[in-house]
Amino acid sequence: MTTNQTAQTRDMGIYLHIPFCKQKCIYCDFPAYQGLTAYYDDYVEALIKEIDLWCAQQPESTTCPVDTIYFGGGTPTELSNSHIELIMERLAHHFTFKPNVQISIEANPGETTHAQLSGLHNMGFNRISFGVQTFDDEALRFLHRSHTSREAIEQITEAYDIGFTDINLDLIYALPNQTIEDIERNLAIVNTLPINHISTYGLQVEEGTYLEHLVRRESLSLPDEDIEDDMYDAMMDGIEALGFERYEISNFAKHEAYSRHNLRYWQYKDYLGFGAGAHSFYNGIRRGNNRYVVPYLQMLGRDVLPAMERDPISTERAQEDYCFLALRTKGGINEQHFFDAFGVHLMDEFGTIIDSLVKDNLLISDNGSYRLNSVGAKHGNYVFSQFLR
C-alpha cells in the first residue's frame, strides 16, 4: 500500500502507453516513434500480454477499483478503435471499474475521423486531450506538428458535438519568435472553444532532439530569460482571466474538471502503466518499462514483463516526493495529511526548509498547509529541489 492510502480509500489508475505518431515533433523526447505501422497489431497483442502477466503475478493489484484509465502517447488514436476495444476488454476482464471511472485518451487534431471519435465516445471514453500546442500555423510547421490551427478548432468542436464534455488542450509557450501578442491571440481563440481544461508548458530543449541540434547549430534563437518570464506571466494570467482555475502548476480547469489521472501522480497514489516506456507506482515501488518497441515486443514474446527499472522508494525519498508533488497542486502540503501518510510531523522533517521558503516569499503558510504563491510557482523547480535532503 502506498503511504497515504488506507485500505478503504485505495483505488487504482491505469495508464496505457501507445508509442506511435504520424510524425515526430522536433522537440519531443517521449517514447514516440513514426513509421511503425507494421507493428501496431503485434504491439496491441504484447500490451494485452503484459496486462495478463502483471495481473497473474500481482493479483492483489486487481482488487483495487479502477478510478482512472488514461491512453497516452505517442498518439493513442494511431491505433484503430478495434485495437483500443481489445485493450479495454482485457482491462475489464481483470479489473473492476468504478461507476464514474474517468477514461481519457490523447489525440492529435486533424488525425482522427468523426467515426473514430464517435466510436471512442460509445466505448466509454469521457475525456479527450488534444495536442494543439499553438494556433499559429507557422509555429506548427516549425515544430513539425501534423495539423493546422483550423483543423484543431474543427476537431475540438467535433469532439464536443459528439458528446465529449471534458476536453483538454495542450498549449506551448516560449517558442522561437513568439511574442506576447501571439500568446494573447492564442488565448482569444481558446476562449471561443468548448473546452474545460488546459495544460501549458514552456518549450524545453531536450537532449537528442532535432530542436537541440538546431539550437546547437545556432540555426534558431529561443526567447531569452526575461522574455520567457513575460510569456509565462502572459500565459498563466491569461488562462486564469478566461475563468480557469490553476489547480496544478501547469494545469487549469473549469468547474473542477480536473484530470483525475494526473492528480493521482501529484497526490502520490498508485498507478499501473502498461506499454513501452510506461511507468508504474505500486506498493511503494516505481517501475519503468523498456521504452523501445522491438525489445518490448521481444520481452513479452518470451513471457517476460518488460520493466527495466525497479526502484523501491525509501521512507526518506517518499517524504520528499510527497512534498514536492503536493506542492505542485493548489492545496499544497498539509501537516495532517503528511502525518497520516508517514506517522511523523511535517515540521520535524522539513520545518527548516519550509520556514525559509515562507520567509523568502515563495511559500504561503495557511492554517497547517503550505502552498506555492505565484512567485514560488514561477520558481517551482528551485522550491522542489529544496526538499531533497
Question: Could you tell me where the DSSP H helices lie in the chain?
Answer: 40-57, 81-94, 114-123, 137-143, 149-162, 180-190, 210-216, 225-241, 260-266, 293-301, 315-327, 335-342, 346-359, 374-378, 380-386
Please list the residues that pair with 57 across neighbouring strands.
none
Phi-psi category of 125—alpha, beta or left, where left has phi over 0 and alpha has psi -120 to 50?
A: beta
Query: Residue for cell digits 483543423?
Result: 151
Smallest gap from Cβ 21 to ligand SF4, in A, equals 3
Q: Which is nearer to ligand SF4, 119 or 277 (CB)?
A: 277
Q: Which stretches of the chain bind ligand SF4, using CB under 6 A?
A: 21, 24-25, 28, 30, 32, 73-75, 108, 131
Smallest gap from Cβ 274 to ligand SF4, in A, equals 17
Smallest gap from Cβ 106 to ligand SF4, in A, equals 8
Smallest gap from Cβ 108 to ligand SF4, in A, equals 5
Report the 10 Å Cβ neighbour count for 28.
Answer: 17
Cβ-contact 23, 271 below 8 angstroms:
no
Q: Which is nearer to ligand SF4, 140 or 362 (CB)?
A: 140
Smallest gap from Cβ 172 to ligand SF4, in A, equals 10
Q: Which is nearer to ligand SF4, 21 or 231 (CB)?
A: 21
Smallest gap from Cβ 79 to ligand SF4, in A, equals 14
DSSP 306-370: -EEEEEEPPHHHHHHHHHHHHHTBTT-EEHHHHHHHHSS-HHHHHHHHHHHHHHTTSEEEETTEE
Q: Which is nearer to ligand SF4, 108 or 134 (CB)?
A: 108
Q: Which is nearer to ligand SF4, 62 or 259 (CB)?
A: 259
Q: Which is nearer to ligand SF4, 75 or 251 (CB)?
A: 75
